[in-house]
Amino acid sequence: MSLTDTEGESVAMANHRLLKALRREQVDRTPIWIMRQAGRYLPEYRALRQRAGSFLTLCKTPELACEITLQPVQRFALDAAILFSDILTIPDAMGLGLSFAEGEGPCFERPLRSRADIERLRVPDPASDLSYVLDTVKLVRAALGERLPLIGFSGSPWTLAAYMVEGRGGTNFSRIKGMTFDAPKDLHQLLGLLAKSVIAYLSAQRASGAQALMIFDTWGGILSEHGYREFSLAYMKMIVEALRSGEEAASAPLILFTKGGGNWLEAMADSGCDALGLDWTVDIGRARSRVGHRCALQGNMDPAVLGARPERIREEVALLLQQYGYGSGHVFNLGHGITPEIDPAKVAAVVDAVHELSEAYHR
Amino acid sequence: MSLTDTEGESVAMANHRLLKALRREQVDRTPIWIMRQAGRYLPEYRALRQRAGSFLTLCKTPELACEITLQPVQRFALDAAILFSDILTIPDAMGLGLSFAEGEGPCFERPLRSRADIERLRVPDPASDLSYVLDTVKLVRAALGERLPLIGFSGSPWTLAAYMVEGRGGTNFSRIKGMTFDAPKDLHQLLGLLAKSVIAYLSAQRASGAQALMIFDTWGGILSEHGYREFSLAYMKMIVEALRSGEEAASAPLILFTKGGGNWLEAMADSGCDALGLDWTVDIGRARSRVGHRCALQGNMDPAVLGARPERIREEVALLLQQYGYGSGHVFNLGHGITPEIDPAKVAAVVDAVHELSEAYHR
């Protein structure tokens, strides 16, 4: 049986370390990938970016986005590729006009300023409005073959809404928070539309070949617990339920990550997702005992550790593996994205340390 | 017996609602004060600031600092005054040269850049090096008499060290985090010196008349749990123990506040402090059941709620009181400082709502 026919492909891939760990099945070693592993800390990324021009050109040109997605997995023994894209592709497809000013983060030309602005929005059709993302997914899958799984992703409805209402990053979120208090109906209308959009978008990524999916809730952590449940978690739960109800449900595990959400892990696990992403402020062993067998855990080394000496990095990897303890269900990662100034040799040190030191926990 | 003799004074003051709540003794209503209640949202503060010049001139001139401390308690029915000062007075007294650039936050002219810089530091003598703070405390106490207790405060050793090493706010903390990984000995030396300094400083504030003390650990929340225990909590614990060992120990309850520390409340309660400050991401009811009878809880309304309509503010106050539930041990506050754009009328709305709605929980 050839590895390239459909059945062979799914069997080989289903046995991959990352997907097994996300399903909490036994693995030989703890799998590792790194948030923003395709990015500015890599000289080959910076070279391509310089030739191509803007960050958005890279995202929107499938051949380039594919090449960038593959860069880190060509260099390091990582256990997954993650789609090179941005969390704000959906609002961009809705017509808000995304751009990135150098060193300033994302900015929308037409942020939402009124009820009428919200009423004008439509759920984007991934096949037409976000075809560049799906084309990238297909190219990456063709290039990776059986070697590694590909993780697709989206921003969470709350996080997308926060950017769409604030217009840019770096604010104190007074507009979007104001809506939670004084215009909750309008906000719920927006969040409902975004949840539908994320469901269509992640389903399309999965249909195009993504084998695991992650929801980045970058700004859920700015809310109170009751605000988080009402305005962020409720909509992520909707997405989890919709993605689990289809035929392909079992084929792509779903990871939820709320930065700053360490207080709410039990509630997040109740959503029915397969895995929780953890930032570095959470003790992963304690998180495991709180969440029990309901979810795998992904994380959660402080990205700042990558600035340390290699021996110190190795110590921190050892500590984190020990905190998680014996058995499957751990996907090693940082607690947030890798930063641009990091020496790529440090990433190699982490990957090697994780693979080497984790074997003892899976015997 | 006159209320102004020593015994009368201590009895009257010990019966004050704030101090009783911090000791978890029965009260008639939930006491309230507000972080940064003396500050830029008040027109009378802005007027004084314009006349006086810089923020630091206000801090360092006892008559002006006293006047500003009293402004909010003259305007609102608050249950405590808090010293108008800055968390960075200790490093300034150590010779680092504190300044505030408009809209930029604090900045040190001579940040710590080497081991030699750390070795040159000495514990400031509050009586000489920080006399302006102690003079302010005395003036405020004389002005307040028996009416209200005065809260003194300091930054935590970790938070002070973070500013001293980074040189300013708004960084990604790569220098101080780098020290936790690659120069922990130097960092422990610095933190030990700062803990001694904070002990001397808070003891002197107490001896000058402060009736409750609060440690602001603004940046503890950027650490991993093991990093927090080693570099922040251990030194706050040292301070709690030192302040509890003296004769005046029982007279001034101690409040610990780590912004972003919601994951670590049990460990913070183990320090032996009287109360924990909570930011707004924590459900205060859940925090109460985690901490049990060990500590009072202070907080924790999202400061952004003050941007909402008065009826909505009242709803949020009601929710928070309900979350905490029946009985004493709750000091109402925001989960972080009040922001400059807030209408002072909203503060009046919160204070009234807390006093009115909390009565039912104390019968």
Q: Tens digits of per-residue pLDDT, B128-154? A: 999 999 999 999 999 999 899 999 999
pLDDT of residue A117: 98
Locate A295 and state its tokens: 């979810």
Is the pLDDT confidence value at A7 over 60? no
B352: how many CB neighbours lie within 10 A of its CB? 16
Domain architecture of chain B: domains with CATH:
6-362 (3.20.20.210)
Average pLDDT of chain A is 94
Tokens 């940064």 sit at which residue? B36
Is the pLDDT confidence value at B250 over 80? no
**Which residues are within 8 A (CB) of A15 and not within 5 positions of it... i.e. 6 or more apart?**
none
Ramachandran quadrant class, A116 (left: phi over 0; alpha: psi -120 to 50; beta: rest): alpha
Mean pLDDT within B187-196: 98
SS3 A275: strand
Q: ipTM of this complex > 0.90?
A: yes
CA–CA gap between residue A229 and residue B317 (Å, rounded): 18
Mean pLDDT within B211-233: 98
Reported as type and span, the H/E element at residue B297 is strand B296-301
pLDDT of residue B249: 57
pLDDT of residue B172: 87
Is the pLDDT confidence value at A1 over 60? no
**Where residue A169 falls among pLDDT bands split at 50, 70, 90?**
confident
One-letter amino acid of B15: N
Dihedral, CA atoms, A93, A99, A105, A109, nearest 10 degrees?
-80
**Which residues are within 8 A (CB) of A194 and not within 5 positions of it... i.e. 6 or more apart?**
A90, A157, A160, A161, A235
Reported as type and span, the H/E element at residue B276 is strand B275-277
Which of A48-62, B6-20, B231-245, B297-311 shows the lowest mean pLDDT across its residues? B6-20
Is the pLDDT confidence value at A171 over 90? no
Contacts of A283 in chain B (CB under 8 A): 224-226, 263
CA–CA gap between residue B321 and residue B284 (Å, rounded): 9
In the residue annotation, A40 being an active-site residue is answered as yes
What DSSP string describes A74-103? HHS--S-EE----TTHHHIIIII-EEEETT
CA–CA gap between residue A107 and residue A89 (Å, rounded): 12
Under DSSP, the state recorded for B231 is I
Cα A257 to chain centroid distance, Å, stands at 7
CB contact A302 to B (< 8 Å)? yes
Locate B247 and state its tokens: 């004769």
Among B29, B6, B37, residue whose Cα is nearest residue B336: B37
In the residue annotation, B163 being an active-site residue is answered as yes
* Contact in structure between A232 and A184 (CB atoms under 8 Å): no
SS3 A332: strand
Total residues found in chain B within this entry: 363
Is the pLDDT confidence value at A329 over 70? yes
Stronger pLDDT, B10 or B49, i.e. the higher one: B49
pLDDT of residue B4: 39
Contacts of B222 in chain A (CB under 8 A): 281
pLDDT of residue A248: 59
> Which member of A177, A221, A335 has the closest CB to residue B281?
A221
Mean pLDDT within B8-28: 85
**Where residue B102 falls among pLDDT bands split at 50, 70, 90?**
confident
pLDDT of residue A5: 40
Residues A246-293: tens digit of each pLDDT:
665 567 999 999 999 999 999 999 999 999 999 999 999 999 999 988
* Contact in structure between B133 and B89 (CB atoms under 8 Å): yes
Among B204, B68, B199, residue whose Cα is nearest residue B130: B204
| Residue B300 preceded by cis peptide, ω within 30 | yes
Contacts of B172 in chain A (CB under 8 A): 304, 339
Is the pLDDT confidence value at A116 over 80? yes
In order of A156, A161, A229, B211, the CA distances from A266 in angstroms are 18, 24, 12, 39
CA A211, A216, A222 angle in degrees (round to 5)?
165
Cα A128 to chain centroid distance, Å, stands at 23
Share of chain A above pLDDT 70, in %: 96
CB contact A41 to B (< 8 Å)? no
Among B322, B327, B240, residue whose Cα is nearest residue B292: B327
In the residue annotation, B23 being an active-site residue is answered as no
In the residue annotation, B279 being an active-site residue is answered as no
**Where residue B2 falls among pLDDT bands split at 50, 70, 90?**
very low
Contact call for A178 and B304, based on CB within 8 A: yes
What number of CA atoms fall less than 13 Å from residue B29's CA on the CB side? 15
Rg (CA), chain A: 20
Among A234, A190, A227, A198, residue whose Cα is nearest residue A214: A198
Residue from A17, A24, A29, A36 carrying the catalytic annotation: A36
CB contact B263 to A (< 8 Å)? yes
**Where residue A103 falls among pLDDT bands split at 50, 70, 90?**
confident
In the residue annotation, B120 being an active-site residue is answered as no
* Contact in structure between B232 and B158 (CB atoms under 8 Å): yes
Q: How far is A51 from chain B (nearest CA, A)?
A: 29
Locate A350 and state its tokens: 């982490």
One-letter amino acid of A31: P
Locate A106 and state its tokens: 């994302």
Is the pLDDT confidence value at A6 over 50? no
Which of A193-202, A229-238, B93-102, B329-338 shows the lowest mean pLDDT across its residues? B93-102
One-letter amino acid of A235: Y
CA B232, B233, B236 angle in degrees (round to 5)?
95
Mean pLDDT within A168-178: 91
